[in-house]
Amino acid sequence: MKANSAVKAISIRKSIPTIIINVFALAFIYLMPTFSHLLSFPLYLIEPMRLMLIIAMVHTNRYNAYALAFTLPLFSFAIAAHPVFIKSLLIAMELAFMVWLYFQLSKYWNNFVSILTSIWASKLLYYGMKYIAIILVLPKEPLVSTPLYLQVITSIIFSAYLFGALYFKKQ
């Protein structure tokens, strides 16, 4: 009986970081328009959904990362109607692909190279799908709305964070 209680306590303790990160991620996405307005800076340029996903990949588990990859874009659409539904679906697929590819590549490569490659491969997938969507249903949408130099900077910062956090987690 005591062993069962100990297992439940450990299970609950392991769930706390996941719950905190998920609530924080949803709140961050929910409040993004407000923060952008207050700061007079379009915070979407720092890729907040990818940031929340990287944090979840480091501090929770792959299943939670997949859950956030699919829910954050759809949650953003549901609460702010931004991005439009089609783009929300494309972003969800992009983020889920990034998670999948990272966990595949990290079996063979170091974490920095794995996540950087995953980020850019998922961006290529996204821009390919977005190009098709522009042709079919989003004719006035620009293909690239975030400057590429900002995407390079955020990719390197996110990759360095994941690499460093996982390195120190092992120590």
How far apart (Å, rounded) are the C-alpha atoms in residues 33 and 16?
27
Q: CATH number for the domain including 88?
A: 1.10.1760
The model carries a pTM of 0.88
What pLDDT is recorded for position 55? 95
Q: Total structural domains in the chain?
A: 1
Structural domain of 112: 2-170
Asked if pLDDT for residue 137 goes beyond 70, the answer is: yes
Burial of 46: CB neighbours in 10 Å, binned 0-12, 13-18, 19+ = middle
Mean pLDDT value across residues 15-20 = 87
How far apart (Å, rounded) are the C-alpha atoms in residues 160 and 33?
27
Mean pLDDT value across residues 24-44 = 87
DSSP state, 46?
A: G
Tokens standing for 27?
A: 């709140």
What pLDDT is recorded for position 83? 87
Average per-residue pLDDT for the chain = 90
**Could you report the per-residue pLDDT of 90-110, keeping only the tens digit for each?**
999 999 999 999 999 999 999
Tokens standing for 109?
A: 């490569």
What pLDDT is recorded for position 15? 82
Q: Which residue has the higher pLDDT, 128 or 10?
A: 128
What pLDDT is recorded for position 8? 55
Asked if pLDDT for residue 134 goes beyond 90, the answer is: yes
Residue given tokens 């995953």 in the structure block: 118
Confidence of residue 11 (pLDDT cuts 50, 70, 90): low
SS3 145: coil
